[in-house]
Structure 1
């Protein structure tokens, strides 16, 4: 007589495998979603900083007043960095705007001028992650 598995042992091992597969199917999409959100937040944040420091714009700091950043360009035109409900955007005094940061918690962005060229910027993203950077602008002429 040969030894082997009983039908109960086979059913039990199949149930364990099924439960493991079910747990993986439930957890994996959530983990991927969190990873993509974090990657999107990092990408949005770095693009935001890059747009402010863009050498083609040659932005200079005019002033930081009431937590609002006011910049000027080579032609001495003023731009305001404004926070809306859904985005932070650059607004020209002549009208028009360009969204430069999304996926942030409204009212969380703060500016602190360090010197004539650098501003410390902090913000809280929608997933609760805190971001900060020192933005370097062009030198004053």
Structure 2
């Protein structure tokens, strides 16, 4: 299985502009630039897209792991905060903080934490990233 995405960039780093698209068409020529990445201008950026991909992948992985243990979540909500830090002369994603809130009938706190951490380690997006990934998981009553 292969998925595609593309980016087009025109101009210099600070004055240039680009677009990001996905092969599925979910994103089509979405604009991005220095100002949307390093300043507070509205728009998307690669780190935000990585965060969305990580949150989505983790949520699905957690659902799968729950199912293997005969649990079904009523709701899984995951937020990913991606930190881009200046390192040396460049930048790198240093941390991704996942925050999970889930409502899962019949599960106890210990099992919930165990399975959430298993999903964090097993999620394909977690495996591809070189950042330190933390998880703060809350089981709703």
Give the TM-score taking structure 1 as reference length: 0.30
Name the larger-Rg structure: 1
Give the TM-score taking structure 2 as reference length: 0.30
